[in-house]
């Protein structure tokens, strides 16, 4: 098979345009083309009046070798790579060693657990939260009744932080072994729509993620893996040489183990503090803070797709924006959710944090996106490895107070923010955040350099997407959990730099940013754990 990328055809092209375009691009007669399968489809909407669908096909040719020779050096015409996942190690027959433990049942922990189970290592998976159905009820408790459960919420519990999300499944990590493909295929087996295999920007949406993590759980258990819910790891046990020997649980229990995948996510603040106290190498890392911004989805569709808005092959429009402000700060859009809602995403009492989610249909009225400013330890929180957490907490506390000290979030109209006056009412754009919002002045809960950078960026963004800086567009604060504020640094063997047996993984450890990259990292770390177990025999 030969992989042909970058083949553009206009929207609404007839099906027979595909073989014709493949033959024209490869300069072959129709009879040499034996078949084709779709590998990826995206769109190019840079010219709204001539939107193109952009395809990658795997094509079966009568004379493939000759075509490949003719197109040598053309990056869009290559042999189709072998994308099959092959585990590098499997458990020795009759293996009865100490089970590896995975802390965290988010995408990273789930894929570490799945791969370890598929290799025959019967992992034990611990999570401080609850199974996904019970967790859903607790999460709604905050959204509907302003009641937070600090162990079971948007951040904590089965499926991890991305369960109540837009379920976007793409990332920019280098992936020469096609581990992302393995993740997507496992998701499809677990119930995801199979368009995630060929959409250039696939997403799943919240409801489907819930049933998928249940299905993944069943697979892991069938393979000998085991889960323990409401099981928070509060401490690690080390021997005299700092080798990891076990885990202390919140209920006084102890689990003996020599290999631990630490996949605790970016909100596991007490766990980061415990690791730092135990001398595990932790360093501060850059992240970003800001707000969620909302506009009616129809405004974004029209701005991006013009008269083709609502075309079934395009779906609700997304966007990606960046502006380098004159105060030296970069403002960018983050985790954009077309047709979704802004959600309350705190995991700590007395704090307000925003994020976004959507359903598979992306049919809700508003588009939302993080609008954030990059910050870094040298400039913004120089006080040590955990100083980024202190900074997050400071602004989340301020947002709680500005929202009314009842988990309502502070909001401001864009027109008011630009005019440097507090909002006192909502305009045309109705905020979707639940349990509720308080119109106010967001400069009470964000640093001045962030507000300054927003004032410069918004009109710039408004020139790229009409109405982006509409006075009634609404900003909800604060978005502080954009990525982990720490890195739990690991070496080439993927173990902690100074604590052998501890395998920091996923977003919390600073090695992923999003569902897909966290899952890919889970696979890599599971393989490293398997190598370590086999080497230790
Ligand atoms: P997490 O998913 O955070 O999982 C960590 C798990 O560890 C949690 O279940 C937690 O309960 C558990 N844990 C923590 N501490 C302990 C402890 N001491 N003991 C036991 N268990 C513990 N990403 C995308 O790619 N696309 C999106 O559309 C998207 N939307 C998002 C929407 C929302 C509302 C949120 C909050 C996040 C979203 N993200 C999205 C980000 C994505 O969810 C994360 O990048 C991803 O979940 C990280 O995976 P992880 O496995 O590393 O950690």
pLDDT at 170: 85
CA distance 126 to 454: 41
Strands 330-344 and 354-358: antiparallel
pLDDT at 131: 97
Q: 446 phi and psi, to 5 degrees?
A: -145, 150
pLDDT at 207: 81
Q: Ligand 1, atom 53: nearest CA belongs to which residue?
A: 265
Average pLDDT value for residue range 387-406: 98
Distance 62 CA to ligand 1 centre (A): 47
pLDDT at 278: 98
Q: Ligand 1, atom 30: nearest CA belongs to which residue?
A: 165
**Is residue 85 within 8 Å of 526, Cβ to Cβ?**
no
Average pLDDT value for residue range 3-29: 97
pLDDT at 94: 86
Domains and CATH numbers, the chain: 2-79 (3.30.70.2700), 101-282+488-536 (3.50.50.60), 286-479 (no CATH)
pLDDT tens readout for residues 300-358 = 999 999 999 999 999 999 999 999 999 999 999 999 999 999 999 999 999 999 999 99
Confidence of residue 412 (pLDDT cuts 50, 70, 90): very high
Q: Is 29 exposed, middle or buried (0-12, 13-18, 19+ CB in 10 A)?
A: exposed
Q: What is the full DSSP assignment across 386-430?
A: THHHHHHHHHHHHHHHHHTSSSPEEEEEHHHHHTT----S--SSP
Q: Which of 27, 18, 29, 35 is nearest to 71 (CA)?
A: 27
Distance 155 CA to ligand 1 centre (A): 6
pLDDT tens readout for residues 19-44 = 999 999 999 999 999 999 999 999 99
Given phi > 0 = left and psi -120 to 50 = alpha, else beta, which region is 76? alpha
Distance 511 CA to ligand 1 centre (A): 13
| Mean per-residue pLDDT over the chain, rounded | 97
pLDDT at 205: 85
pLDDT tens readout for residues 205-260 = 888 889 999 999 999 999 999 999 999 999 999 999 999 999 999 999 999 999 99
Q: Which of 156, 154, 172, 159 is nearest to 113 (CA)?
A: 159
Residue showing tokens 């073989």: 19
> Taking 90 as the threshold, does the pLDDT of residue 104 lie above it?
yes
pLDDT tens readout for residues 445-502 = 999 999 999 999 999 999 999 999 999 999 999 999 999 999 999 999 999 999 999 9
pLDDT at 324: 98
pLDDT at 360: 85
Which atom of ligand 1 sits closest to the CA of residue 270?
18
Q: Which residues line ligand 1 (CB under 6 A)?
A: 103-109, 126-129, 154-157, 160-162, 164-168, 232-233, 263-265, 268, 271, 335, 343, 345, 355-357, 506-508, 512-516, 518
- By most ligand atoms within 8 Å of CB, the mutation choice from 150, 264, 288 for ligand 1 is 264
Which atom of ligand 1 sits closest to the CA of residue 169?
25
- By most ligand atoms within 8 Å of CB, the mutation choice from 114, 165, 263 for ligand 1 is 165
> Taking 90 as the threshold, does the pLDDT of residue 167 lie above it?
no
Average pLDDT value for residue range 360-366: 92
Average pLDDT value for residue range 186-214: 93
Residue showing tokens 């019967």: 122
Strands 77-79 and 2-10: antiparallel
> Taking 90 as the threshold, does the pLDDT of residue 391 lie above it?
yes
Distance 28 CA to ligand 1 centre (A): 49
- By most ligand atoms within 8 Å of CB, the mutation choice from 261, 514, 516, 520 for ligand 1 is 514
CA distance 397 to 410: 12
Which atom of ligand 1 sits closest to the CA of residue 266?
3
Confidence of residue 57 (pLDDT cuts 50, 70, 90): very high
Q: Which of 257, 200, 28, 222 is nearest to 120 (CA)?
A: 222
Q: Ligand 1, atom 39: nearest CA belongs to which residue?
A: 162
Confidence of residue 408 (pLDDT cuts 50, 70, 90): very high
């Amino acid at each position: 098979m030969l992989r042909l990328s970058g083949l553009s055809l206009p929207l609404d092209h007839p099906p027979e345009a595909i073989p014709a375009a493949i033959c024209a691009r490869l300069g072959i007669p129709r009879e040499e083309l034996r078949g084709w399968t779709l590998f990826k489809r995206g769109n190019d909407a840079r010219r709204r009046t001539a939107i193109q669908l952009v395809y990658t096909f795997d094509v079966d040719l009568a004379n493939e070798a000759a075509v490949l020779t003719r197109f040598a050096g053309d990056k869009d015409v290559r042999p189709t790579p072998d994308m099959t996942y092959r585990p590098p190690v499997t458990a020795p027959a009759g293996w009865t060693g100490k089970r590896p433990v995975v802390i965290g049942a988010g995408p990273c922990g789930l894929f570490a657990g799945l791969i370890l189970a598929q290799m025959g290592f019967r992992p034990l998976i611990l999570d401080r939260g609850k199974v996904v159905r019970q967790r859903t009820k607790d999460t709604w408790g905050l959204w509907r009744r302003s009641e937070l459960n600090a162990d079971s919420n948007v951040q904590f519990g089965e499926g991890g932080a991305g369960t109540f999300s837009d379920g976007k499944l793409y990332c920019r990590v280098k992936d020469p072994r096609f581990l992302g493909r393995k993740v997507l295929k496992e998701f499809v087996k677990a119930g995801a729509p199979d368009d995630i295999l060929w959409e250039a920007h696939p997403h799943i949406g919240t409801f489907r993620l819930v049933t998928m993590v249940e299905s993944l759980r069943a697979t892991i258990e069938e393979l000998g893996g085991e889960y323990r819910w409401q099981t928070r790891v509060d401490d690690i046990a080390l021997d005299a040489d700092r080798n990891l020997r076990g885990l202390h649980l919140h209920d006084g229990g102890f689990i003996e183990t020599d290999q631990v995948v630490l996949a605790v996510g970016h909100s596991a603040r007490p766990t980061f503090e415990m690791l730092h106290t135990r001398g595990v190498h932790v360093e501060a890392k850059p992240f970003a803070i800001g707000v969620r911004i909302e506009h009616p989805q129809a405004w974004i569709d029209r701005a991006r797709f013009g008269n083709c808005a609502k075309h079934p092959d395009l779906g609700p429009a997304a966007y990606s924006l960046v502006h380098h402000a004159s105060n030296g700060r970069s403002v960018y859009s983050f985790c954009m959710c077309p047709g979704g809602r802004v959600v309350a995403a705190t995991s700590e009492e007395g704090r307000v944090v925003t994020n976004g989610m959507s359903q598979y249909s992306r049919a809700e009225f508003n588009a939302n996106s993080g609008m954030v400013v990059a910050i870094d330890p040298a400039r913004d929180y120089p006080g040590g490895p955990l100083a980024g957490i202190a900074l997050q907490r400071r602004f989340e506390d301020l947002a709680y107070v500005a929202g009314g000290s009842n988990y309502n979030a502070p909001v401001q109209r864009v027109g008011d923010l630009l005019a440097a006056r507090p909002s006192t009412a909502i305009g045309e754009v109705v905020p979707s955040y639940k349990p509720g919002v308080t119109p106010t002045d967001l400069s009470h809960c964000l640093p001045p350099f962030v507000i300054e950078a927003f004032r410069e960026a918004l009109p710039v963004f408004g020139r790229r997407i009409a109405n982006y800086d509409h006075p009634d567009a609404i900003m909800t604060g604060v978005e502080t959990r954009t990525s982990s504020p720490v890195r739990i640094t690991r070496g080439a063997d993927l173990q902690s730099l100074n604590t052998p047996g501890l395998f920091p993984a996923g977003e919390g450890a600073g090695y992923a940013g999003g569902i897909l990259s966290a899952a890919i990292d889970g696979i890599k770390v599971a393989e490293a754990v398997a190598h370590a177990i086999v080497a230790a025999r």
